[in-house]
Structure 1
């Protein structure tokens, strides 16, 4: 599995669209997650998806610590690199 930040970023964008919060092309990787409808339920769901996809345990606060898709992708990539 490719775990570089750009691949993770694309996957995260797909999750945002799949959750039905926004349409593809209506946001950028730098759009704050809060502007994309992020709430506590969405954060928990996203964390579960991250754990399942990358076999990486994450705390829901990761989405508050990394408030954009790009920042979150880099945070996940860094954790994966540290775990390798």
Structure 2
């Protein structure tokens, strides 16, 4: 079971929330957006995510979680919320 590290260890953060926060932060950086404008329930394509950025982001997520993930993850689960929930359910990650 992979242990996620959160930046604020004094408060409990669910694994799904930690993954959501990471994904939003990375999306904002890659797409030059304000993280507060990214909604977890909105399709990632709404923000301009293309296939190259999606595959790169999945690779970074693999490195962060130390997991092997499908390169189509963000197309199969096209919102931050769906992707985070899938990862928690499928890979049993925990904080």
TM range (shorter): 0.7 to 0.9
Give unpaired runs (5+ residues) of structure 1: none
2:86 to 61, 71, 75: 75
The runs of 4+ residues in structure 1 deviating greater than 3 Å are none
Report the structure number with the largest CA radius of gyration: 2
For normalisation by structure 2, the TM-score amounts to 0.77
Q: Tell me the C-alpha RMSD between the 2 structures.
A: 1.7
Q: Is the 8 A contact 1:21 1:37 kept in 2?
A: no
Give unpaired runs (5+ residues) of structure 2: 5-13
Give the count of matched residue pairs.
Answer: 82
For normalisation by structure 1, the TM-score amounts to 0.86
